[in-house]
């Protein structure tokens, strides 16, 4: 395909040694030069500040926070004016994170580790972000599309209904909700009925199902 006169220069950041090595191997085989391999976002920032990089591949979960360290590093790089390609790797399709990554502008990508079954998947993603393009895992896109639709029933709830739902999800009984919101029991029942009508639509064999449904609904957000 290419004679590759100028191989891309890429840095890797991942706290898991096994993945660092794996990424390095796949990129190297794909004609990409791995110039650095570190285990934290802070170290990556140092490397990036020295310049000479075309792109960076980094895990989202890294020390010390083990939450969104990778995205934080991305945002700091962008804040510092760096425009190199940044490919975020994650274990799961987390729409919130994907949106944050996309919000950082072009030249960024969000890819699921498990999605990388072919070397070219990763190599091409790196090449894409390095040239200013965007990469989003198809599964994440699907989740996002589903999300905007699934958000519909929730946005159909009124202000009051949402506050009631919130307390429901926290395990409050109708009576407890009534006390918390200074309402009559019957009023809460009315709201609950309205909420269930708007969210459930069908089937409601057991009571527990309701709680479960609400919990999974809120838990998935």
Partner DNA sequence: GCCCAGTTCAGGGGGTACCCTGATGCGTCG
Partner DNA sequence: CGACGCATCAGGGTACCCCCTGAACTGGGC
Positions that interact with a second copy (CB under 8 A): 15-26, 39, 91, 113-114, 116-119, 122, 168, 171-173, 175-176, 205-209, 211-212, 215
For DNA, the closer of residues 4 and 185 by Cβ is 185
Is there binding between residue 206 and DNA (CB under 7 A)?
yes
- Smallest gap from residue 206 Cβ to DNA (A): 6
For a second copy, the closer of residues 82 and 143 by Cβ is 143
HSE of 136, CA atoms in CB hemisphere, 13 A = 22
Residue with tokens 């609950």, as numbered in its chain: 192
Is there binding between residue 173 and DNA (CB under 7 A)?
yes
Within 10 Å of residue 68's Cβ, how many Cβ atoms? 21
Q: Which does 24 bind (CB under 5 to 8 A by kind): a second copy, DNA, none?
A: a second copy
* Cβ contact 109:135 at 8 Å: yes
Q: Which does 52 bind (CB under 5 to 8 A by kind): a second copy, DNA, none?
A: none
* Cβ contact 91:59 at 8 Å: no
- The full 3-state SS of 156-197, as one line of letters, equals CCCHHHHHHHHHHHCCCCHHHHHHHHCCCHHHHHHHHHHHHH
SS3 state at 213: helix
For DNA, the closer of residues 64 and 175 by Cβ is 175
Among the listed residues 6, 148, 207, 219, the single contact to DNA using CB under 7 A: 207
What residues between 50 and 89 interact with DNA by CB under 7 A?
Answer: none
* Cβ contact 135:126 at 8 Å: no
Q: Which does 187 bind (CB under 5 to 8 A by kind): a second copy, DNA, none?
A: DNA
By CB atoms closer than 10 A (0-12, 13-18, 19+), residue 195 is: buried
For a second copy, the closer of residues 26 and 98 by Cβ is 26
CA distances from 205 to 24, 209, 216 (A): 53, 7, 17
- Smallest gap from residue 103 Cβ to DNA (A): 24
- Smallest gap from residue 162 Cβ to DNA (A): 8
Among the listed residues 104, 144, 169, 192, the single contact to DNA using CB under 7 A: 192
């Amino acid at each position: 395909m290419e004679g590759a006169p100028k191989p891309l220069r890429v840095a890797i950041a991942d706290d898991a040694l096994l993945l660092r090595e794996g990424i390095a191997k796949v990129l190297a085989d794909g004609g990409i030069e791995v110039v650095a391999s570190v285990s934290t976002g802070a170290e990556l920032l140092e490397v990036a500040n020295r310049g000479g990089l075309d792109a960076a591949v980094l895990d989202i979960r890294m020390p010390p926070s083990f939450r969104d360290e990778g995205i934080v590093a991305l945002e700091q790089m962008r804040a510092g004016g760096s425009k190199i390609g940044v490919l975020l790797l994650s274990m799961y399709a987390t729409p919130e994170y994907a949106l944050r990554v996309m919000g950082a502008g072009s030249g960024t990508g969000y890819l699921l580790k498990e999605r990388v079954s072919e070397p070219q998947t990763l190599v091409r993603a790196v090449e894409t972000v390095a040239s200013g393009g965007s990469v989003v895992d198809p599964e994440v896109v699907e989740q996002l599309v589903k999300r905007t639709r699934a958000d519909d029933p929730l946005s159909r709830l009124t202000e009051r209904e949402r506050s009631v739902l919130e307390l429901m999800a926290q395990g409050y009984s109708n009576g407890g909700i009534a006390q918390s919101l200074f309402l009559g029991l019957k009023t809460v029942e009315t709201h609950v009925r309205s909420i269930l009508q708007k969210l459930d639509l069908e089937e409601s064999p057991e009571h527990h199902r309701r709680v479960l449904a609400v919990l999974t609904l809120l838990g998935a957000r």
